[in-house]
Structure 1
Amino acid sequence: MVERIRRLTLAYNSSGDLPGEESYQLSAKTSSDMTQPSTLGLSPVTVAAQPADDQAERLASLRESVLVCEKCAHLAAFRHTVVFGVGNPNADLMFVGEAPGADEDLRGEPFVGRAGELLTRIIETMGFRRETVYIANVLKCRPDIPQGSPGNRQPTPEEMQTCLPYLRSQIEIIRPKVMVALGGVAMRGLFGTTEPMRALRGRWHLFGDIPVMATFHPSYLLRNQSLSEKRKVWEDMLQVLERLGSPINERQRNFFLPKSE
């Protein structure tokens, strides 16, 4: 169920006092085993390329189906709206999160709360805009919580299994060159893995023939704002840029590196 691949790892030498003055290079190393797709209704993706207009039309048609979905009756009764996804139907880069929160449920768009603001900053720092990538969640409805209870809950395996065909269809239509799985729930949905994120992040995984980078969810960085944790996520994004063949400038290479003494 696993195979050997090469992955890109980051290596850098620091000198000087300010970010931007350190030298940086990418080196290729042999990776550990690559995770394969989940058995939760997600078989490998193999879809022929289609015209851009057709992709947009197919995605719009899928969205109409998802908006009236009531397969999870308890979620359909609880939600304000379905949160389908947002972005470019022809995106090279796709981000996958876990489920809508309260803000997303009200606005009908993924990642619009504090975690979403952070994700937007990450996307822009990579040199993209929200409208040029695609953002979706494993679950399209906000998981229900007792009335008056604060916060959110993670989706159950049964809820994910019911909703995953929609995500699979999105991936099949968009055909991104690279995907980023944001957090452990996204990795469980895509690959069925129960490994902790610290063991998964920074590694390439394969969904069909699409490389997937696992990284921490933006909400994790809101709770853990140390420079070292920010750098870990940023190193993951540098690997994504390298895989996409996107230019990386010296300033980008050196974000969140500690200042030299």
Structure 2
Amino acid sequence: MVIAQPCVHVLIWNIAILAGPIFRKKLRYNAKLQMILEMQKAALDFVIAALEKIRETSDRLPRASRLSVERLQFVAPNKADLLAPIRERVRICTKCPHLASSRTQTVFGVGNPDAELMFIGEAPGADEDKQGEPFVGRAGQLLTRIIETMGFTRGEVYIANILKCRPDTPPGSSGNRAPTPLEMQTCRPYLIEQIEIIQPKVLVALGAVAVEGLLGSRGTMRELRGRWHSYSGTPLMITYHPAYLLRNQTPSEKRKVWEDMLQVLERLERPVTEKQRNYFL
């Protein structure tokens, strides 16, 4: 089907409308996405220059098929496809030889690559190391309950850790140890790439160790939680790690976490019911 435009300005304006979101969107892109954007811009610049030339040298009106115009629309790369090569790099990573030799497998992250909400923990535990998925132990079960009470399913959000390997422990010891600053610094670039691709509307850091790994600064949870922070322009809510709530069963501490999550819901402009407002974990 052929469409005659009243004038070249209209066609150029339509192209600008289609291309506009590409250039207006103020988001950080990884190198691959940035290259695609630059290629799109170069192609559009070429089309506009050609149309201007036609207007200057011909009396005939420019014509374009509907298919040609539709092809000018930008289609963002699939985020799962962009995450896949990072997952593979994590899978074979040996930057921390002591962790690479002691782990069962790496724990990359799980959930919706297009999620509005992203939770960040500190490191995999024994259960996560065994299953290859973050937050699947007792603390993970509590986190899932929090997510579901917020009105999401676990598959609608994204969950990742600062470290992708379980921190090693001395032979014969039980429990988990916190990541060292060097381990977090080494593994942090993987998380940064995940955040840049997923581009959540809100980040939630679970516990002081996750905050240190993400922001590079220490602080007490009493000082940090319950108010908004920012990570590279993305709103960041800091709250207690679910494991802390398993150790401290007092209703007041549980209520603090839920009040933090109510703030997250409001920032996401999600409806909050009266039942949710009065809920205790």
Same fold (TM over 0.5): yes
For 2:267, the aligned partner's letter is R
Instruction: Judge conservation of contact 1:46–1:209 (CA < 8 Å) in 2.
Output: no
Map of 2:232 onto structure 1: 208
| Residue of structure 2 in register with 1:173 after alignment | 197
| Other-structure match for 1:150 | 174
Higher helix share: 2
Equivalent positions of 1:1-261 (< 5 A) are 46-47=28-29, 54-256=78-280
Find the structure with the greater CA-based Rg.
Answer: 2
Q: Partners of 2:183 and 2:219 in 1: how far apart? A: 20
Structure 1 gaps of 5+ residues are: 1-44
TM-align CA RMSD? 1.6
Per-residue deviation, 1:203: 1.2
Question: Counterpart amino acid of 2:80?
Answer: A
Please give the alpha-carbon distance, in whole angstroms, between the structure 2 residues aligned to 1:61 and 1:130: 23
Q: How many aligned residue pairs are there?
A: 213
Q: Which has the higher strand share?
A: 1
CA distance in 2, matches of 1:65, 1:135: 18
Higher mean C-alpha deviation, range 247-256 or range 53-62: 53-62
Higher relative contact order (CA 8 A, sep 6+): 1
Q: Percent identity?
A: 67
The gaps in structure 2 that reach 5 residues or longer are 1-26, 38-73
In 2, the alpha carbon distance for the partners of 1:239 and 1:80 equals 37
- CA shift at 1:52, angstroms? 6.1
Superposition TM-score, scaled by structure 2 size: 0.74
Sort the Cα spacing of 1:95 and 1:117 in 2 relative to 1 into closer, same or farther, 3 A: same
Using the TM superposition, give the Cα deviation of residue 54 of structure 1 relative to its aligned residue in structure 2, in angstroms. 2.0
Structure 2 residue identity aligned to 1:46: R
Q: CA deviation at 1:46?
A: 2.4
Distance 1:171 1:51 in 2: 20
Deviation sequence 1:125-173 (CA, Å, 0-9, x none)? 0000111000000000000001120000000000000000000000000
Cα pair distance change 1:52/1:89, threshold 3 Å: farther
